[in-house]
Amino acid sequence: MATFGSWPTPITSELVVRAAAGLGGVSLHGDTVTWAEQRPEEGGRTQLVQRTGDGPAVDVLPAGVNARTAAHEYGGGAWWVAENTVWFVDWADQRLYTVTGQAAPEPVTPEPEVPRGDRWADGRVTTDGRWVLVVREHHPAGGGPAQVVNEIVVLDATGQLAPRVLVSGPDFVSDPRISPDGGRLCWLQWSHPDMPWDGTELCVADLRTTDTGPLVTNAAVVAGRPDTGPGGTGAGESVSEPRWADDGSLWFISDRSDWWNIYRWVPGVDGAEAVVTMDAEIGSPQWVFGQSSYAFLSEGRTVFSSARDGLGFLAIRLADGSVVDLDVPYTSFASIQAEGDRIVFVGASAVTEPSVVSVTVDAEGTITASEILRAPRDLGLSTEWFSRPEPISFPTSGGRTAHALFYPPTNPGVTAEPGELPPLLVFIHGGPTSAARPMLQLGTQYWTSRGFAVVDVNYGGSTGYGRAYRNQLRGQWGVVDVDDCEAAARWLGEQGHVDPTKLCIRGGSAGGYTTLAALAFRDTFAAGASHYGVADLEALATETHKFESRYLDGLIGPYPARRDLYVDRSPIHHVDGFNRPLIVLQGLEDEVVPPNQAEMIVDALRTKGVPVAYVAFEGEQHGFRQAANIRRALDSELSFYAQIFGFELPDAEHIAAVPVQNL
């Protein structure tokens, strides 16, 4: 028997990062599959890996090269493949490069006037290989977010001609896609104060080739609409992931029915028709470029992933419009690609980390072959060690129902003390327009195997439950999210699952803000952990990068017109409400939530005499990527809880005690 929190476990911070690789985008061309691996043990860099046929998987980029774009700060779409050539953005200088085989990378774009001032993403190569249509985010010298320009430009694939602008005017553009016959171009566009999940426009234009590259004419909006009114009213249409089918029709995801479902637009026909409709979310919020939730197979079939009740599913729409679920052992899917009868994707489950998976299907959607191209790590652990997520729904404020994934404490080698209940960690995802992912994450099992219960809350405003649920956070950030996290913790306590005196709350980015708000304005939680969280909403509104610089208009209200709300909901202005211990973890190169916000709240708590710990990380941006820092963050937070609740750590000799002031 052992006290909750002190259970011995092989799931240490060292195991969390050992040989870990976050799997990103996947590309399928013929019998060659390319994927991205973020490697914490290599400084968090992203390597590209290729496998052709039955051959071995080989690294594409030289040591030290990092395929990552800083466009929108969150990146995505940093690489693509055309024929035998890989195009990628190098994190160091943000220039676009090509690499073929084992040759050294060659730069395609010129050096910008400002270091890293031109950031590239989401490119596509014309069928003749001569031109590249790509998103460019230009940062002028001395300019702030208002001076950043996002455009679609055409590049000469040989690098001889200067980039030329094709689409300009909207605040943001993405997804330039060329029709199969080369005669049309589509793209997405939106402008402040909308975020892409509020309202986007899908545009189509004629594409004409000249000696200096393609030109666009006759541009028109074929789907989507901006949100309306100051701060938005929820009346927009969010369109994402446009794809040209071989027959010249244009497919896309839209939430016009409340759920993100799939639609099709045919040139010359007014409007668009629904091709996949269900009370489930197909697709996800466009935080990054290059997402792929569906793909075309042969014989008029389409494979797609969806989310319902907090879990993911994979299915095929057959040519007759019927939908067949695929029998695969995964609950989370990303980067769906297809060609012929073959589907490639990143899949994970409650007991397996992400893998790159290939399956072959017949005409009826039955799987005839399956292969794991990039296996998850061999953790050397029985699945008995893994806590499985249990989707739960619970009552919350305003007569609403909120949702979460609950992970009970799980450890096959320990029996709990009789009558004792576990402490609870309330996990809050970032965004806040995002969702908890139903997959094996050792960062969660690190806690559950030690005797903590975890609840990963999909509060009102999260994705996966339709637009109406997503819109619950409009004007209510710092209210609805806090209500729902409180409700989840209290409900679990009332149901006898957790100790109601040991409720803790933790989160990163937007989740860090919710953590700070819960501690400043409520008294439910005994302690909290803010990972690069927002303490001053006003500072965030005035200092953050272009992509999110008007995000708070919809979440709180227009600034500065509703400055009163920004002050009222900023934890930094309500330090008198803090009386529970807090640990703050912050990257010192964070451009999304600058370090001064963390330091303001820590200084205020030090002065007030509230127990507080502060851990800062050199070389980290918004989120921790380096193995040593990921380990230090986990172990510091565990040490913090051990000191607050007074339990012993079974591996204390391997965990440096984090200094807690005012304890």
3-state secondary structure 1-63: CECCCCCCCCCCHHHHHCCCCEEEEEEEECCEEEEEEEEHHHCCEEEEEEEECCCCCEECCCC
Dihedral over Cα of 558, 561, 565, 571: its sign: positive
Above 90 in pLDDT, residue 234? no
Classify 562 as helix, strand or coil: coil
Structural contact between residues 633 and 616, judged by C-beta atoms closer than 8 angstroms: no
Q: Please state, in angstroms and rounded to a whole number, the distance separating the CA atoms of residues 580 and 527.
A: 5
Which residues is 250 bridged to in the sheet? 244, 265
Angle between helices 480-494 and 510-521 (to 10 degrees): 70
Largest CA distance in the chain: 79
Q: Which residue has the higher pLDDT, 143 or 58?
A: 58
pLDDT of residue 231: 54
Q: Please state, in angstroms and rounded to a whole number, the distance separating the CA atoms of residues 174 and 123.
A: 9
In total, the chain counts a number of residues equal to: 663
Q: Which residue has the tokens 């014309």?
A: 126
* Lowest pLDDT segment from 1-5, 411-415, 488-492: 1-5
Mean predicted confidence (pLDDT) in 319-344? 97
- Residue 345 belongs to a domain: no
- Residue 353 belongs to a domain: no
Residues 6 or more apart in contact with residue 16 via CB below 8 angstroms = 442, 443, 446, 630, 631, 634
Q: Please write the tens of the pLDDT for every residue from 178-222.
A: 999 999 999 999 999 999 999 999 999 999 988 888 999 999 999
pLDDT of residue 585: 97
pLDDT of residue 213: 87
Q: Please write the tens of the pLDDT for every residue from 532-588.
A: 998 999 988 998 899 999 999 999 999 999 999 999 999 999 988 999 999 999 999
Structural contact between residues 136 and 151, judged by C-beta atoms closer than 8 angstroms: yes
Task: Kindly report the CATH number assigned to the domain that includes residue 525.
Answer: 3.40.50.1820
Mean pLDDT of the chain: 95
Classify 100 as helix, strand or coil: strand
For 204, half-sphere exposure in the C-beta direction (CA atoms, 13 angstrom radius) is 19
Dihedral over Cα of 436, 439, 442, 444: its sign: positive
Report the candidate in 468, 494, 472, 496 with the shortest Cα–Cα distance to residue 483: 472
Report the candidate in 516, 515, 490 with the shortest Cα–Cα distance to residue 505: 515
pLDDT of residue 233: 64
Structural contact between residues 188 and 202, judged by C-beta atoms closer than 8 angstroms: yes
Task: Report whether the peptide linkage leading into residue 432 is cis, meaning its omega lies within 30 degrees of zero.
Answer: yes
pLDDT of residue 83: 87
- Residue 546 belongs to a domain: yes
Q: Please state, in angstroms and rounded to a whole number, the distance separating the CA atoms of residues 260 and 514.
A: 26
Structural contact between residues 542 and 566, judged by C-beta atoms closer than 8 angstroms: no
pLDDT of residue 211: 83
Percent of the chain clearing pLDDT 90 (strictly above): 87
| Overall domain count for the chain | 1
pLDDT of residue 102: 84
Instruction: Give the strand pairing for 527-531 and 453-458.
Output: unpaired
Above 90 in pLDDT, residue 592? no
- Residue 171 belongs to a domain: no
pLDDT of residue 229: 56
Structural contact between residues 78 and 85, judged by C-beta atoms closer than 8 angstroms: no
**In a 10 Å sphere around its CB, with 0-12 CB exposed, 13-18 middle and 19+ buried, how is residue 564 labelled?**
exposed
Integer angstrom CA distances of residue 554 from 26, 28, 193:
33, 38, 8
Q: Please state, in angstroms and rounded to a whole number, the distance separating the CA atoms of residues 106 and 116.
A: 17
pLDDT of residue 284: 95
Mean predicted confidence (pLDDT) in 148-171? 94
Report the candidate in 475, 472, 443, 468 with the shortest Cα–Cα distance to residue 459: 472
pLDDT of residue 297: 98
- Residue 263 belongs to a domain: no
Which residues is 274 bridged to in the sheet? 263
Mean predicted confidence (pLDDT) in 511-540? 95
Q: Which residue has the tokens 């005196």?
A: 501
Mean predicted confidence (pLDDT) in 267-281? 95
Mean predicted confidence (pLDDT) in 290-303? 97
The domain in which residue 481 lies consists of 382-654
Q: Please write the tens of the pLDDT for every residue from 449-494.
A: 999 999 999 999 999 999 999 999 999 999 999 999 999 999 999 9
Q: How many helices (H) and strands (E) does the chain have?
A: 10, 36
For 593, half-sphere exposure in the C-beta direction (CA atoms, 13 angstrom radius) is 27
Q: Please state, in angstroms and rounded to a whole number, the distance separating the CA atoms of residues 463 and 478.
A: 17
| Token pair belonging to 256 | 């016009």
- Residue 586 belongs to a domain: yes
- Residue 162 belongs to a domain: no
Indicate the Cα dihedral angle 5, 7, 13, 15, nearest 10°: -150
- Residue 476 belongs to a domain: yes
For every residue of 565-596, DSSP letters joined together read: HHHHT-GGGGGGG--S-EEEEEETT-SSS-HH
Instruction: Give the strand pairing for 582-587 and 612-617.
Output: parallel
User: What confidence tier does 149 reach under pLDDT thresholds 50, 70, 90?
Assistant: very high
